[in-house]
C-alpha cells in the first residue's frame, strides 16, 4: 500500500476583497485592491498536506483557461507539483469572496465547473490504492458525475483498508445533497464537519439524527470545527474540547481546510488525538493571520514552533 494521501476535491481561483459592508440591491460598495489566490476545499487541503510534508496526490479537473494557468503558476512558486486533468468543455471554477469584518459571503462561478464533471476515465493511477483518502463534500454535493465517480473510488479504497477522511462542506441542505452525504458516510473513518454543518445534517437527515448514529456506521472519530471556539473530538470511547488560539485574525478563508490538513497530518504521523487536535487548531489559527487560503498556510516548522501551542495545550478538556 502506498504511503501517500489521495485528495479528491474541487479547485477554484479565489478573488478576495475586504469591504466595510454589503451593498443595497442595485448599489455598490468599495474596497482596496483585490487579492487573487488559488483555492477550493480540495486544493486547499492538498496544499496544506504538502506544506506539512505529507506525500499527497490531488485528483481534480480544470478548464483550458487562464485561471488554470494561474493555479499552476501559483503552486509552482510554492514548490508543489500539480498536473490536473484538463477539460476542453468546462471552465475552471472561480469564487469571489466578499469579507465584511470576519464574515465572508461567496459568489461562486461553479455551476458548470470542470471539477464537477469528473468521470472514471479521468482518474489517474494514484486513485488506485492510497494509504489514506481525503474527500470534500463540495465534489459530492455540486456535481452528479463527480459524486458517482468519487463514491466508487471511496468504496474501493475503503475495501482495500485505506483510512477515509470526509469533510461534508455543506453548501446545500436540499434532499439530494443530504442523500449523497448519507451514501458516503458508511465508508468514512474520520468525519470533519463544522459545528453548523453537523447541526444541519443531523436535523435534515432521515438516517442520522445523533452523533451516535454516525459512529454506528463505522465512523471512528468526529472532529467538530467551531471557529473561534476551537474544536471538539467525539468518538465512542473518548471526547475532548480544544480551545482555539487568540490569533490576530485577518482572513478566515480556508481555515477549515487548514484544520483538515493538520488532522490528516496527525493521523499520518501516528499522533495521539490530543496532540492532533492541538496542532490542528494551531495550524488553522496561523492561517487566519494571513490573507487567502492555501497561500496563507504555514510550513511544518512554523506550526511545530508556534507560540500558540503551549497555551492551547493547557486548555484541553476531557468531555
- Collapse the DSSP code of 10 into the 3-class scheme (helix H, G, I; strand E, B; otherwise coil) and give the result: coil
8 Å CB contact between 190 and 157: no
Q: Rounded distance, CA 292 to CA 38, Å?
A: 8
Q: Rounded distance, CA 112 to CA 84, Å?
A: 17
Per-residue confidence band for 43, with pLDDT thresholds at 50, 70 and 90: very high
Per-residue confidence band for 126, with pLDDT thresholds at 50, 70 and 90: low
One-character DSSP codes across 240-254: EEEPPP----S--TT
Residue 226 has pLDDT above 70, yes or no: yes
Those residues with Cβ within 8 angstroms of residue 82's Cβ, 6 or more apart along the chain or in another chain: 58, 71, 72, 75, 76
The CATH T-level fold of domain 5-11+40-92+110-318 is 3.40.1190
- Here the cell at position 13 is 481561483
Q: Rounded distance, CA 183 to CA 253, Å?
A: 28
The pTM of this model reads 0.93
8 Å CB contact between 50 and 265: no
8 Å CB contact between 5 and 134: yes
Q: Taking residues 174-198, what's their average pLDDT?
A: 97
170-184 pLDDT tens trace: 888 899 999 999 999
1-36 pLDDT tens trace: 345 899 999 999 999 888 888 888 999 989 888 889
8 Å CB contact between 42 and 118: no
Those residues with Cβ within 8 angstroms of residue 288's Cβ, 6 or more apart along the chain or in another chain: 247, 249, 250, 251, 252, 255, 296
Amino acid at each position: 500500500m502506498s504511503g501517500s494521501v489521495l485528495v479528491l476535491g474541487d479547485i477554484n481561483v479565489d478573488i478576495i476583497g475586504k469591504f466595510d459592508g454589503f451593498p443595497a440591491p442595485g448599489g455598490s460598495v468599495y474596497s482596496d485592491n483585490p487579492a487573487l489566490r488559488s483555492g477550493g476545499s480540495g486544493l486547499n487541503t492538498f496544499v496544506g498536506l504538502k506544506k506539512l510534508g505529507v506525500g499527497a496526490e490531488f485528483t481534480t479537473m480544470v478548464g483550458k483557461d487562464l485561471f488554470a494557468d494561474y493555479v499552476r503558476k501559483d503552486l509552482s512558486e510554492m514548490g508543489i507539483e500539480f498536473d490536473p486533468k484538463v477539460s476542453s468543455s468546462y471552465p475552471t471554477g472561480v469564487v469571489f469572496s466578499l469579507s465584511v469584518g470576519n464574515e465572508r459571503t461567496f459568489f461562486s462561478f461553479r455551476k458548470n465547473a470542470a471539477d464537477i464533471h469528473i468521470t472514471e476515465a479521468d482518474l489517474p493511477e494514484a486513485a488506485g490504492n492510497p494509504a489514506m483518502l481525503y474527500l470534500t463534500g463540495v465534489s459530492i454535493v455540486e456535481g452528479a458525475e463527480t459524486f458517482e465517480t468519487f463514491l466508487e473510488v471511496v468504496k474501493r479504497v475503503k475495501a482495500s483498508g485505506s483510512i477515509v477522511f470526509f469533510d461534508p462542506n455543506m453548501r446545500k441542505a436540499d434532499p439530494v445533497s443530504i442523500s449523497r452525504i448519507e451514501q458516503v458516510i458508511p465508508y468514512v473513518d474520520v468525519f470533519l464537519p463544522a459545528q453548523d454543518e453537523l447541526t444541519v445534517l443531523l436535523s435534515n437527515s432521515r438516517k442520522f439524527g445523533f452523533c451516535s448514529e454516525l459512529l454506528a456506521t463505522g465512523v471512528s472519530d468526529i472532529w467538530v470545527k467551531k471557529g473561534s471556539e476551537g474544536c471538539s473530538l467525539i468518538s465512542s470511547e473518548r471526547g475532548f474540547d480544544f480551545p482555539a488560539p487568540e490569533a490576530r485574525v485577518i482572513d478566515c478563508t480556508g481555515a477549515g481546510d487548514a484544520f483538515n490538513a493538520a488532522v490528516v497530518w496527525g493521523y499520518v504521523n501516528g499522533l495521539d488525538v490530543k496532540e492532533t487536535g492541538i496542532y490542528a487548531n494551531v495550524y488553522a489559527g496561523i492561517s487566519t493571520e494571513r490573507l487567502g487560503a492555501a497561500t496563507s498556510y504555514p510550513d511544518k516548522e512554523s506550526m511545530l514552533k508556534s507560540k500558540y501551542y503551549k497555551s492551547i495545550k493547557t486548555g484541553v478538556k476531557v468531555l
